[in-house]
Chain A
């Protein structure tokens, strides 16, 4: 499978990365090189093979259902580019 310029622009939008016409052109070639490289996986007979979902066979740990953390609003917003009284500020999303 390979991608064309239109697909690259669509994927870039899905990934929320602004691309110029030149970027998109360049990426099309690079992505096709990588997709060409991974194509060889189709040779592998995977009939009856389960996909790997965890590295080690183990049950996922669950933490106790109790409040163990919190009251850290100031810490959470400390690194944000724009805040107001422990709220993150973003451009208007609802008209």
Chain B
């Protein structure tokens, strides 16, 4: 490392300008700006068109999710996690559910595990499709957006089939799934997975060898592996620098160790490599989802919530017959379950990077503290490092390639 990595604050850029620095200009970008993907505000220090320094100013979507979760029971708090990274609600559900399940030490039935893997992989594809569409839109390729959203709607239809909601599904609950998969789930998924690879080819036809796309992305926004790790960059952004670190392989959860897939990596750590890595990831996700669908078909029907009655309610018909089940149901609905005292940290590979969840339990039915390691929030720190010395137009491509979701940045 030649010079130390710094992450400036907006004040550090604005104040010299107010006190009379005239060589460079300060430009405010956002929070209302079409290419900041939400309500991100950037304070740029410009020398002509060249970015000398920049500081992201976040918090315009601060929702107080962590505080609100402390006032809900464990199971009710699942709903709040959905709205964090709103492009991948199921990944958030999964991360939170895994953390609480780690505290509780409950066993999840096989069918629920496979469904979780299948649905999070579909979620990854749908999230990457939004990234692809908006990234291309920012670089003035309108048609990719329309193609990407066509496939995304198909995935949302699957989610709607499963849970009744298109986006905010809250489908993964602590102890398993909210309810069983519907009968026509597998045929719909298999139909989608059969066409998806050819659709990814379509996007690649539009972009991968497109000279305009190459000019805007190759060699732009470069970061090396060492700086990326120091700045906590994760996900496809880290893998584009050549570091093959994926939580699904490194510390497998939900049975990912039993699926065969590869971790696509890049070489140069530029925007084009991130694009290639994410496209390859979509193909890998299709592959994982296909394996999961096969397993679901082989496994046949079965339970989707844990048999532990202290965590998951008994089936409805049991309540009318058994007094004990009625009591369990009553306890769960009036009070909720009580994990033992302690804390647990779990991380998963969300579409944006390492999503971590730290839960502290004080033995009461409500979490004492829930903290999310939000990948978008931490990835944003590296923006200044990558954008220095580049043009403002490159910055637009750079923000899109980092794929931040502001709901997750601000929580």
Q: A and B from one assembly? A: no
**Which residues of chain B have a CB within 8 Å of any CB of chain A?**
none
